[in-house]
Chains A and B, each alone.
Chain A
């Protein structure tokens, strides 16, 4: 699908996919940072269930899944997936800005390789049934 023929709503949904993917991971980390040191697995799960941020993450995850399925209804997986992989870069930038996570050359290089790998895999020829793959 050529970029010039993209309908506005699809551009919006692709942007939304990147935003939701990024938000899920940043909020997930924030939620984990707020968990008390519970000690046991059951206590950790119980503490997580009481943490509203985890509920928000779950809601955003479901929204992300629904939005992604809508994107796949009218675009090729091979076209859309590399675009939404931009969330790798968004998470990297936002985690550095708002969570104070480390920024170094090796990490940037690693993310670059993973991004390129996703791009190569997504550009592979595929049949129509692959469009139904669930990958928010």
Chain B
């Protein structure tokens, strides 16, 4: 393969990872529909999901073009098996209670904010275009999650306990977000100025998340614990298969169904 083709396929891998993150979290958040604590929050969570779905569509459509095999966004979303998904494991975690969902959202939206800010300067116009639009969306997701983390963390004894438990559940999975480029096979994409090295996003992320948690009177879980990994290489947690089954079943049972 020529260098050009190799770079395109590395870019496709990279963009697929970004798109899968957004797609899978959108699917998870949709599980809150009609189940949120109040109707106002129901709409808010689904707004976030809808923003993420829009990002996923743009990114997966582009990933399909980069692959050069004619796969569409739908082919990628509904036609791949578990091992071909490159999303981080954080986004596939079950929703848990509302506090756990908000803890996961804070960690992920703060990461996406750093990511899209960096990608706004991508040398690839399609990627920078998506990033410039999405950074405003995720700035709001981050703020929304932060306001709940502070309210629950610095709320009643019950809500504080739930916030601490929720954060401890999701925290280990944040490590995977910042794995260096060469560990997740995107070093070439970073070197070409198309993508950014995930490891470089950690400092800004920690500054934001740390400030929110301090205000929420919730301690950052102590470092040195278990750090799960593998999502970017297609290794996923137990619950992911069930998520895919629900998300893909209609398309697979009735290929090409429209309404």
**A pairs with B:** no
Task: Give residues in A with beta carbon < 8 Å to B.
Answer: none
B-side residues, CB < 8 A to A, are none
